[in-house]
């Protein structure tokens, strides 16, 4: 990217912006509320991004794991009267362990089978939450989930403190994602996405890596779900339904699948757009559905991908004659092209 | 005993509908190797178009179904042209996401255009007949017979006509079909037309005994996926047999196990199959 948009300057500016955001809005609770919710979604979208964007496995059970995180926290605090932070930790452990069990089985399948498998799995998770009334209260939903407990002198009784709590978690998630993507593991995942057979041939244990990613992805989903439950303090079975997975997928696709900043851009854009188009609540898919399809056809890497390839084009025009994105034709060319794109992705971050 | 036979007949009815939907799905999979998540939305559109033709335009049931087949078939062709054709070289994850986008759009469209409430479809075949001591509504009998007729016609079309043979050729080997002069674009469009038409027939036949609503395709499509995995992705006889197997197991499961959890049977079945054999039953082997 150009020198003005140097990473070393941009990232601290963005973080500062997020920290001082509530003061800029003069503590407008509505805006802070929506912002906190979108931060929570972002964490979930990062989970989906790691799996679908970097290893190429489209999991359609993501909302199911989101719901498991939320319900674990809800049930442990409301029904078992457990200490909040202990329940929070346990919720993450439960989600990850379930993710591990599911992953071991689900990851034996590939491509379409994996998508269909997880789609059905998501539906089973939703049905179980909906029908297991003695545990989850069924359609009535879980009410009265406590707000996060105090940490020393810090209380979480208003919107502002919750905003900062979620922000801290989001920053941690972004940091973890940044470290993963720029490590050898991150490149390993991209290798698996580009060609699993090839990755296996050069000695990558694909199953081990895929499983790590799957568990991490469910961990993020669980974290996002637990934060959601403690923030909204009411959960119903709908949060585990397929439409939530599709929502998360829309956020990811609009922002840019397989990019580090994509989930932030996409979620912010769509969540705020949905707020402005609130009259359209039920019909918003009338717009977002075609957007999703068109993006995949014309900008498969979303807004972030589109902008970054624009920068690359401008940059490379100076040095080389033209390196516009080549039209892939043969399988071989495609692999090569994909590799260059993922290289860019890594650099662009 | 009587309950068993009654339930077997119910299974036959549901199975016929499933088989028709799964046939459309498996045909498209055979040609393009994509799981068309939007197929359930085509099913739903079929129900609504037939309903509108009957209530708004006062057409006869069969003419309404015919119009519905054409309309939904054309939606299928549009989908192929506008979405799947440009994506044919893209990584597989893109097709799936694009299909989900279409699905979301069509469902929101139906909700906007026809409203979110459940609507019932009138049928000229409401009388009840008694065969071998069984009481059967004409509509259910009609579903079974019509499904068999459609399947036989489809079979004859695929096996006995030149155009049908091109579809099979393309599903066997796309490049090969192209080499021997098959216009693959045309065949892809034709396949989507047939696939949409089959979905429209299935939903128009089953709508009078179920209901018409924007989400009516969701469960059906999930089950159709289970069926084509059961019967082998892209296999036509597999889709038919799988459809009936699922129909029977659901209606028997609802009677003898639990009515609440009958929808879960299909998914448990799928999870078990894919757990044991990750590439699906009857897969052709290799990667």
- Specify burial of residue B272 (Cβ count, 10 A radius: 0-12, 13-18, 19+): exposed
Is residue A118 predicted with pLDDT exceeding 60? yes
CB contact under 8 A, A116 and B229: yes
Chain pair A-B, CB pairs under 8 angstroms: 126
Distance from C-alpha of B62 to C-alpha of B65, rounded to nearest angstrom: 5
Domain CATH number, residue A174: 1.10.3470
Query: What pLDDT, on the 0 to 100 scale, is given for residue A328?
Result: 41
The answer to whether residue A158 sits within a structural domain is yes
Helix, strand or coil, per DSSP, at residue B128: strand
Q: Mean pLDDT throughout A250-277? A: 85
Task: Give the one of A111, A117, A249 whose C-beta lies nearest to B100's C-beta.
Answer: A249
Q: Mean pLDDT throughout A326-337? A: 44
For residue B21, give the nearest of B213, B197, B250, B235 by alpha carbon.
B197
The answer to whether residue A333 sits within a structural domain is no
Distance from C-alpha of A234 to C-alpha of A208, rounded to nearest angstrom: 37
**Whole-number average pLDDT of chain A:** 81
Instruction: Tell me what percent of the residues of chain B surpass a pLDDT of 70.
Output: 95
CB contact under 8 A, B92 and A291: no
The answer to whether residue A289 sits within a structural domain is yes
The answer to whether residue A24 sits within a structural domain is yes
Is residue A330 predicted with pLDDT exceeding 50? no
Per the structure, the complete domain to which residue A58 belongs is given by: 7-300
Determine the angle formed by the axes of helices B2-32 and B138-160, rounding to 10 degrees.
30
Nearest CA in chain A to B29: A112
CB-CB contact of B98 with A296 (8 Å): yes
Q: Mean pLDDT throughout B193-217? A: 88
Nearest CA in chain B to A120: B267
For residue A79, give the nearest of A134, A129, A128, A125 by alpha carbon.
A134
Q: Mean pLDDT throughout B96-111? A: 87
Task: Give the one of B104, B112, B271 whose C-beta lies nearest to A120's C-beta.
Answer: B271
Contact A141/B at CB under 8 A: no
Best probe of the B interface among A56, A108, A112, by most B CBs < 10 A, is: A112
Local confidence band at A217 (pLDDT 50, 70, 90 cut-offs)? very high
CB contact under 8 A, A293 and B102: yes
pLDDT digits (tens, 9 = 90+) for B43-73: 999 999 998 888 888 888 888 899 999 999 9
How many domains does chain A contain in total? Answer: 1
Task: Give the one of B91, B229, B280 whose C-beta lies nearest to A56's C-beta.
Answer: B91
CB contact under 8 A, B90 and A108: no
Local confidence band at B283 (pLDDT 50, 70, 90 cut-offs)? low
Other Cβ atoms less than 10 A from the Cβ of B139: the count is 21
The position carrying tokens 């994996």 is A114
Is residue A327 predicted with pLDDT exceeding 80? no
CB-CB contact of B74 with B196 (8 Å): yes
Under 8 Å CB-to-CB from A333, ≥6 apart: which residues? A326
Nearest CA in chain B to A300: B94
Taking the CA of residue A188 and the nearest CA in chain B, the distance in Å comes to 18
Nearest CA in chain B to A291: B101
pTM here is 0.82
Task: Give the one of B83, B116, B278 whose C-beta lies nearest to A113's C-beta.
Answer: B278
The answer to whether residue A97 sits within a structural domain is yes
For residue A296, give the nearest of B34, B103, B90, B32 by alpha carbon.
B90
The answer to whether residue A23 sits within a structural domain is yes
Task: Give the one of A56, A110, A293 whose C-beta lies nearest to B83's C-beta.
Answer: A293
Distance from C-alpha of B58 to C-alpha of B63, rounded to nearest angstrom: 10
The answer to whether residue A106 sits within a structural domain is yes
pLDDT digits (tens, 9 = 90+) for B215-258: 888 888 888 888 888 877 778 888 888 899 888 888 888 877 77
The answer to whether residue A292 sits within a structural domain is yes
Query: What pLDDT, on the 0 to 100 scale, is given for residue A211?
Result: 92
Is residue B285 predicted with pLDDT exceeding 60? no
Is residue B162 predicted with pLDDT exceeding 80? yes
Nearest CA in chain A to B279: A109
The position carrying tokens 């568990």 is A215
Taking the CA of residue A69 and the nearest CA in chain B, the distance in Å comes to 22
Is residue A282 predicted with pLDDT exceeding 70? no
């Amino acid at each position: 990217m150009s020198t003005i948009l140097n990473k070393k300057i941009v990232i601290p500016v963005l973080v500062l912006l997020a920290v001082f955001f509530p003061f800029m809005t003069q503590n407008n609770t509505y805006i802070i509320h929506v912002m906190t919710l979108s931060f929570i979604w972002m964490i979930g979208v990062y989970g989906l991004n790691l799996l679908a964007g970097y290893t190429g496995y489209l999991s359609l059970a993501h909302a199911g794991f989101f719901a498991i995180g939320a319900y674990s926290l809800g049930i442990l605090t409301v029904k078992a009267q457990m200490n909040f932070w202990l329940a929070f930790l346990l919720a993450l452990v439960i989600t990850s362990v379930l993710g591990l069990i599911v992953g071991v089985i689900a990851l034996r399948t590939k491509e379409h089978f994996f998508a269909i498998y997880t789609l059905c799995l998501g539906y089973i998770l939703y049905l179980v939450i909906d029908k297991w009334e003695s545990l989850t209260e069924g359609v009535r939903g879980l009410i009265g989930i406590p707000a996060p407990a105090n940490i020393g002198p810090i209380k979480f009784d208003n919107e502002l403190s919750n905003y900062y709590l979620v922000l801290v978690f989001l920053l941690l998630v972004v940091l973890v994602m940044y470290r993963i993507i720029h490590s050898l593991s991150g490149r390993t995942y991209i290798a698996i996405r580009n060609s699993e057979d090839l990755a296996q041939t050069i000695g990558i244990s694909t199953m081990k890596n895929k499983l790590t990613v799957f568990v991490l992805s469910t961990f993020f989903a669980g974290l996002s779900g637990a934060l959601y439950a403690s923030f909204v303090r009411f959960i119903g079975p709908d949060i585990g339904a397929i439409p939530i997975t599709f929502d998360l997928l829309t956020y990811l696709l609009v922002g840019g699948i397989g990019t580090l900043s994509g989930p932030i851009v996409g979620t912010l854009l769509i969540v705020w757009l949905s707020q402005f188009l609130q009259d359209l609540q039920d019909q918003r898919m009338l717009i977002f559905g075609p957007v999703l399809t068109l993006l995949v056809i014309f900008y498969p890497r979303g807004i972030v991908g589109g902008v970054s390839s624009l920068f690359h084009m401008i940059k490379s025009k100076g040095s080389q004659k033209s390196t516009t994105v080549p039209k892939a034709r043969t399988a071989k060319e495609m692999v090569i092209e994909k590799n260059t794109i993922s290289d860019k992705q890594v650099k662009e971050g | 005993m009587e309950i068993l036979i009654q339930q077997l007949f119910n299974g036959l009815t549901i199975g016929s509908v499933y088989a028709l939907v799964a046939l459309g799905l498996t045909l498209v999979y055979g040609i393009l190797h994509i799981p068309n998540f939007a197929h359930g939305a085509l099913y739903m559109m079929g129900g609504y178009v037939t309903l509108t033709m009957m209530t708004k335009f006062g057409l006869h049931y069969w003419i309404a179904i015919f119009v519905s087949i054409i309309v939904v078939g054309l939606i299928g062709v549009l989908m192929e042209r506008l979405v799947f054709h440009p994506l044919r070289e893209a990584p597989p994850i893109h097709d799936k996401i694009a299909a989900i986008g279409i699905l979301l759009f069509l469902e929101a469209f139906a909700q906007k255009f026809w409203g979110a409430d459940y609507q019932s479809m009138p049928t000229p075949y409401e009388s009840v007949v008694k065969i071998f001591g069984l009481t059967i509504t004409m509509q259910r009998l009609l579903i079974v017979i019509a499904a068999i007729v459609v399947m036989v016609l489809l079979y004859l079309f695929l096996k006995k006509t030149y155009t049908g043979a091109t579809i099979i050729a393309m599903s066997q080997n796309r490049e090969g079909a192209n080499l021997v002069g098959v216009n693959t674009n045309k065949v892809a469009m034709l396949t989507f037309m047939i696939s949409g038409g089959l979905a429209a027939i299935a939903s128009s036949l089953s709508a009078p005994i179920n209901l018409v609503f924007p989400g009516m395709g969701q469960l059906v499509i999930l089950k159709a996926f289970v069926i084509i995995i059961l019967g082998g992705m892209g296999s036509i006889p597999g889709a038919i047999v799988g459809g009936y197997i699922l129909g029977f197991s659901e209606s028997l499961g609802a009677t003898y196990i639990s009515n609440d959890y009958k929808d879960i049977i299909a998914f448990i079945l799928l999870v078990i199959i894919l757990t044991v054999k990750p590439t699906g039953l009857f897969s052709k082997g290799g990667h």
